[in-house]
Structure 1
Amino acid sequence: MKPEISEFSYGFALTNELVGWVALSAAPVFPSLIEEGKAGGGYDVKLDRPGVPLFLQFKRSHCMVRRTAKEHQAVVALGGTLNVPYYRFPITEAKTS
């Protein structure tokens, strides 16, 4: 099943929750796509908590509900078990991102 929420919407909602739980030394930082791709980037939000910086990366996952999905078949072929539903998300290689 395709997710019905964007990565940004989920990230914003989670960040809003986290801000209410912890004391931060600065406002959350949401880097642009260009900033995220630069050296030192690779995160969707940075929360600067005194002594404990927290970097989060959000991925929009797809709910896999059938045993015909390739991950399920691969695990079973190796003698393992994978219960459905489970979630997967694509990762874009750095050379094509």
Structure 2
Amino acid sequence: MSRPWKSEVVSFMVLPERKSGRSTLDSALYLRRRSVDRSEPMLLRPVSYLLLAVPLLEAIKSTALVWLAILSFASLAFAFTDRFSAITMLLSSSLDKCCMW
């Protein structure tokens, strides 16, 4: 029993001619039934396909955020070690000047 807001659409498709040389009259008709929801406007139907992509987009986003955090921490750690080495070199050079007197 079908719902009142749904209707069945019947479409016919002629299968291509066989390679064995038979005529097109021997080709079979293919009957396909599909249910079309009339409550949803035609323009909004592609949105449902986009909603299926949401988990994939969330996975891509979380992976990108993880890599961004790793790379930013690495560059931040490099910046700290670079500053530490610069301060160490500055102190050692000032100590050298002080001790040379």
TM-score w.r.t. structure 2 length? 0.20
Whichever of the two has the greater Rg, that structure is 2
TM-score w.r.t. structure 1 length? 0.20
Relative contact order higher in (CA < 8 Å, ≥ 6 apart): 1
